[in-house]
Amino acid sequence: MATLRLGDTAPDFEQDSSIGPIRFHEFLGDSWGVLFSHPADYTPVCTTELGYTAKLADEFAKRNVKVLALSVDDAQSHKGWIDDINDTQKTQVNFPIIADADRKVSELYDMIHPNASATVTVRSVFVIDPAKKVRLTITYPASTGRNFDEILRVIDSLQLTDNYSVATPVNWKDGEDVIIVPSLKDEAVLKEKFPKGYTVVRPYLRVTPQPNK
């Protein structure tokens, strides 16, 4: 399987999980999705990640995002691990953990990197839009916990820039100024699209307040 690229269709799959069998595309429905992998159950860094993700349930819900984790262990192991996560992280895991004992999903999504390990998944994150297109991929080493605030930030940017002719600048956060795309040049269109006005820093760099705020 070649590495998934941005804009590729996220492969569909059916696999067991901590809440029973899941067909991926059907589970997502019209929602955005975050699929993220873990080297194994009962691993310390992943325990903190899953706990923090559970605490972000309201943040994902208001962005119309469904979250799925994945580990190569079986569903029964996942259920025991979830008890540990809930206890140690003081939360309630509210999303499924996919059981990938046969490595089917790991191979579909190129989550096993031979240079890291022949059998253990790296920490991969995939953001998938309602059209089932891959919009973001991030791969972390096994020793480094992921930044889920950053994943939310990217989803905010993707959802904003899908609907308006803007891009988001360095370190942008929801509510801050954005950049008008260089391809938009017609003055009448600019005034219509950006009634709050905009600042021309350079002809190619035009800054405007976030349109939907």
- Active-site residues, by number, are 46
User: In which residue are the tokens 């391809």 written?
Assistant: 183
Q: What's the CA gap between 16 and 8, in Å, rounded?
A: 24
Give the Cα-Cα-Cα angle 170, 37, 102 (nearest 5 degrees): 155
Residue 44 DSSP symbol: H
One-letter amino acid at 95 equals: F
Tokens of 175: 């509510």
From the list 122, 37, 45, 126, the residue with the least C-alpha distance to 85 is 45
Three-state SS sequence of 42-86: CCHHHHHHHHHHHHCHHHHHHCCEEEEEEECCCHHHHHHHHHHHH
